[in-house]
Amino acid sequence: MTKKRIVHYINQFFAGIGGEEKADVKPEKRDGVVGPGMAFKGQLTDVAEIVGTVICGDSYFNENEAEASETVLEMIKSYDPDIVIVGPSFNAGRYGVAAGAVAKLVDENLHLPVVGGMYPENPGFELYRKHGYFVEVGNSAATMRKAIPAMSAVVKQIIDGNEEVTGYMPKGLRENVFREERGSKRAVEMLVNKIQGKEFTTEYPMPTFDRVDPAPAVKDITKARIALVSSGGPVPKGNPDHIESSSASKYGKYSLKDIDDFTPENGQTAHGGYDPVYANEDLDRVLPVDVIKEMLANGEIGSLHDYWYATVGNGTSVANAKKFGTEIAAQLKEDGVDAVILTST
């Protein structure tokens, strides 16, 4: 078997040109391996050869993207590769974005497979995930020794022509495929296998969520300052901020000063994912303002934050929800809030 031709894209730092002070160097190409390419060579020597390395300063690439893209693409093309490797770029933001952009260039113009390595939170991954096989690597170059074999394994699978390549972070692409059996039958079979303790392969893996340690308990709730937050869409009548009924892009902040009890005249839900009749009739069913005000009056809680915060948790992206939560928390902390009640529908 003839060895596959690989071109490797790296930044100025990994090429040994220099650090931040050299981040504005223009693209250049060198025959053979440079820097981490040496380690890839060791892993891939039986099946592939790194014929050339293309190098560009991270700042230069990001500040002159059009020009840099054109030059880098020409340089890669000049080696007539079968596969392109970018990085690994760990959690280096500009390097990740540049490596991702190179992946996109290669994918769209040369239609060649690209293998990269990024820390999942590298912005370059989110931006360019669908243009390459990005292997999850650590957040710094200290993990290089783990990154190289993991990325090489993906390269080998591509060279072997594996139908299903594994070991990379999902590209977030959906592909239409036709199956012999209809969905309902496949689902029932899967369920039966699961019940019998047999093996089954899900067709839609559930997302994994990170965890947060429980915050310490409130010592004395009768002295605590409480805040109300909801993803059930409780808003003042008329939905003044036009919070979307699904896939909300914002949250609202509303004064509790003049509301002791919700009525059909002062509150409604903006949520489009459940029957709104009951919430519109009495919004206390979603956000318990009437009893909280009562508890405030009779001393069951110490005090109440002056506002409630509401969004619609209906198809809302995790990224948005996280952003809303972080922004709301900052305002609560500033006001000396001790604990939060969040209601969901």
User: What is the binding site for another protein (CB under 8 A)?
Assistant: 206, 209-221, 224, 226, 229, 231-232, 274-279, 281-282, 284-288, 290-292, 294-295, 300-301, 311, 313, 321-326, 328-330, 332-333, 337-345
Neighbours of 302 (CB within 10 A): 16
- Structure tokens of 38? 């040496």
Neighbours of 322 (CB within 10 A): 11
Closest C-alpha to 147, from 216, 99, 206: 99
Q: Using an 8 Å Cβ cutoff, are 345 and 273 in contact?
A: yes
How far apart are CB 179 and another protein at their closest, in Å? 27
- Structure tokens of 36? 């981490």
How far apart are CB 162 and another protein at their closest, in Å? 32
**CA angle, 67 as apex, 66 and 71 as ends, to 5°?**
120
Q: What are phi and psi of 305, to 5 degrees?
A: -60, 140
Between 200 and 274, name the residue whose CB sits nearer to another protein: 274
How far apart are CB 88 and another protein at their closest, in Å? 28
How far apart are CB 339 and another protein at their closest, in Å? 4
How far apart are CB 82 and another protein at their closest, in Å? 42
How far apart are CB 237 and another protein at their closest, in Å? 18
- What is the chain's alpha carbon radius of gyration, rounded to the nearest angstrom? 27
3-state secondary structure of 290: helix
How far apart are CB 278 and another protein at their closest, in Å? 4
Between 198 and 333, name the residue whose CB sits nearer to another protein: 333
Between 71 and 311, name the residue whose CB sits nearer to another protein: 311
Between 169 and 295, name the residue whose CB sits nearer to another protein: 295
Between 165 and 341, name the residue whose CB sits nearer to another protein: 341
Between 180 and 275, name the residue whose CB sits nearer to another protein: 275
Between 59 and 245, name the residue whose CB sits nearer to another protein: 245
- Structure tokens of 293? 């005000």
* Amino acid at position 330, single letter: A
3-state secondary structure of 40: helix
Dump the DSSP string for 206-250. PPP----PPPPPPS-GGG-EEEEEESB-EEETT-TT---SSS---
How far apart are CB 42 and another protein at their closest, in Å? 41
Closest C-alpha to 23, from 82, 94, 86: 94
Q: Which residues contact 187 (CB under 8 A, 6 or more apart)?
A: none
Between 185 and 333, name the residue whose CB sits nearer to another protein: 333
